[in-house]
Structure 1
Amino acid sequence: MSQIDQSLQRLQTDYVDLYIIHRWDYDTPIEETMEALNDVVKAGKARYIGASAMYAYQFQKANNIAEKNGWAKFISMQNHLNLIYREEEREMLPYCRSEKIALTPYSPMASGRLIRDRSDTTKRSTTDEAQKAKYDETADRDQLIIDRVTELAVKYDTNRVNIALGWLLQKNPVVAPVIGATKMSHIETAVGAVDFKLTQEDVLYLEEPYIPHKVIGHN
């Protein structure tokens, strides 16, 4: 309750539309967490609640407990999903589709790997250890997918952002990928993907080289 009050004070607003918890708390009973979040909603400080990266069984357990007690349930999932990390398609996406829960995936462009040449380096690409842990192990195989992103961008005379985000936006129930914008131009470029449509053949072509990855980000 203290943290939501501080957030509202910093944002200079009375409430937020969506309040998202950060991953699964292994040290606190989920009953306590869901009751506390329900108190936030009842107090009018958040309209809805969401969760971020966790296992599908954990997410379902939390919502089941909330439903059992008549508490607010999670209506969104902010998970790790992009063209070179698709493990969420196994359990989380089917569950969210069945329950009409919206997805707001983070790292939609795989920390920039999907939209730049492999030879290009940035400060982040050379110093971000979390990014390396996510993608370095499968970099060679993932490059096949990245090359196809580039190929389709050339084919449609567009940018690679449109290809990467266009693929993600056609994944039901994705509604709003969380892009890591640091410049206004990043937002302006990303907005273009809303109206960009890939064919089903394009989607299959992009997905075909994918191999299973280790589950990352849930702990």
Structure 2
Amino acid sequence: MRTSFFQPLLICFVVISLEAQAQEMPNSYYLDDNELSSKKNLLKIDVTSPLRGQYMVYYERFLSKLDHISGEIGIGYLNSQFKSAHINIAENNFKRFELKEPGYAISWAFNYHPYRSFYKKYYGLKASYNWFDEIKSTQFLMYRGHQINLTDWIVLDMLIGMAIEIYDPKHPDENWYSDVDKHRVLLDVIIKFDYLF
């Protein structure tokens, strides 16, 4: 299924616009008297993944001994219209799979926060694993994110990154694409709404 760069570019434009309009709050608002994050947990819902037939939730927490580093885990469900990723850079297209049965996803990530809180920019590395029917995929994503505190406990969380996706088709048949690339370079843009506590 062919598509253009319009959708991811539109999402990127929205992300940049929201960053530009974000209210800058002093970093002390998010830090305790020891200059560490006063709120160490995020519960996240990915609002872009349903566009590709995936429903993901995440939990992120600052690591107590490393005040700039947080760890994140995620679990998800893949429906019958699952798209492997937003866009394939090399071929400028989506790869959509018609799943015979629901699939599942799990991910884990580590993020670096320069401001030692869930605030402003951050950088991360993420690994995710999807399994559906007889095909499995592993994705490694490097990204830059930005968090905007909409209220004391709601955070708009946006990131853009480049990924390498590796497929492992075990028993392909006529229902699967015969030209599934085993290695692909992808652009991913993700928007989440987070509960901060």
Q: Which interval holds the TM-score relative to the shorter structure?
A: under 0.3
Give the TM-score, by structure 2 length: 0.24
The structure that is helix-richer by fraction is 1
The structure that is strand-richer by fraction is 2
- Greater Rg over alpha carbons, structure: 1
